[in-house]
Amino acid sequence: TATNVRAALLTSAGQSRDLLLQRVAPRLGHRGDITGVVAIGAPTPTTAAQPQRTASVVAAPVSRVHPSIAAAKGLGANGEVAAAQAKGEPFHDHSGITDALDIAVIGLDLHGNITEWSRRLAEISGRTREELLGKSLFGNVTGLVAFERHEEVSTVMMEAQYGKDTNNYQLPLVASDGRSLELLVSVAPRRSSDGQIIGVIAIGQDITELNLQRREVERVADDLSRIIDTASAPIFGVDCEARVTVWNQKVAEISGHSYDEV
């Protein structure tokens, strides 16, 4: 970080305008790595005697890590499960696999009735397996999917019945207390021991809180962006390759260069 750095800005008319950069600091990514530089300053008279300082920024490689949630595509069914599904009976996972894993699992038969509801899903939704088994995912009694989302969700589930996998789908559900839940799931057909499709399985993670945090970060970032753009001080920023990433209205006014031009 450097303060009171004098810099020359070349205007669109070819003239040099002096800026006193009151603060020059590294711009950090979400993991704390340096992604660029941001400078905040004020125009100064070209004749004013200002102490000159030189600040250098060492460009570090930008590391961009995009976190993802890896979800399984299916859950094996043994002969006992296949027989129950073939008869149209609710499926009870006697192996306890889904309950042993901290993941959300929903199983449906070919009619959209719930055949599996994992322990983790019961915890986050407030709806128990016992009260939901055999009931429709889209029924008014369960109220698990908001009416306006029925068509979207049913389309994804229907595609799975025809053999199509859907990855990284944000499945909207409604908790027992009316809260909106969002699950990042992989949806796939569920097959019997002889390979016939007997239902649908959706496996994934609860990302409700993560999405709420992301939206709050986006809101704050949007507010900050507007504050920077309308600030009375010239503010600009560059990335590690010296490409302009921030260029507010004041610096555009001083330089005669719009953001699109730089």
pLDDT attached to residue 59: 32
Report whether pLDDT(41) > 80: no
* Percentage of residues of the chain with pLDDT beyond 70: 74
Q: How far apart are CA 173 and CA 171, in angstroms?
A: 6
pLDDT attached to residue 70: 32
Closest CA to 237 of 60, 26, 62: 26
pLDDT tens for residues 87-127? 444 444 433 666 666 789 999 999 999 999 999 999 999 99
The answer to whether the pTM exceeds 0.75 is no
